[in-house]
Structure 1
Amino acid sequence: MNRAKWIWLASLGLIYAGLWIWYGGNGDPISEDEGLEMLAEVERLHGVRLEDTPEGSMTRNLRDMLPNDDGKEFYAVNLETRAEGPEALEAEAKYAAIVMPLLLERGGHPVFLSERAGLMLGKYGENVDRVAVVRYRSLRDLIDMIADEKMVEGNAFKTASLAHTEVFITRPTITFVQVRLMVGMFLALLAIAGLAVIGRIQRRRGDVPAT
Structure 2
Amino acid sequence: MLDTVKPSAEADINQRIADRVRELRAARGYTLDALAARCGVSRSMISMIERGAASPTAVVLDKLAAGLGVSLASLFGGEAEGAPAQPLARRRQQLKWRDPESGYTRRNLSPAGWPSPFQLVEVDFPPGARVAYETGGRESNMHQQVWVMSGRIDIVIGDELHALQQGDCLAMRLDRPLIFSNPASKAARYILAIGDASAN
TM score, norm. by length of structure 2: 0.30
Whichever structure has more helix as a proportion of its residues is: 1
Whichever structure has more strand as a proportion of its residues is: 2
Give the number of the structure with larger relative contact order, counting CA–CA contacts within 8 Å between residues 6 or more apart.
1
TM score, norm. by length of structure 1: 0.28
Q: Which has the larger radius of gyration?
A: 1
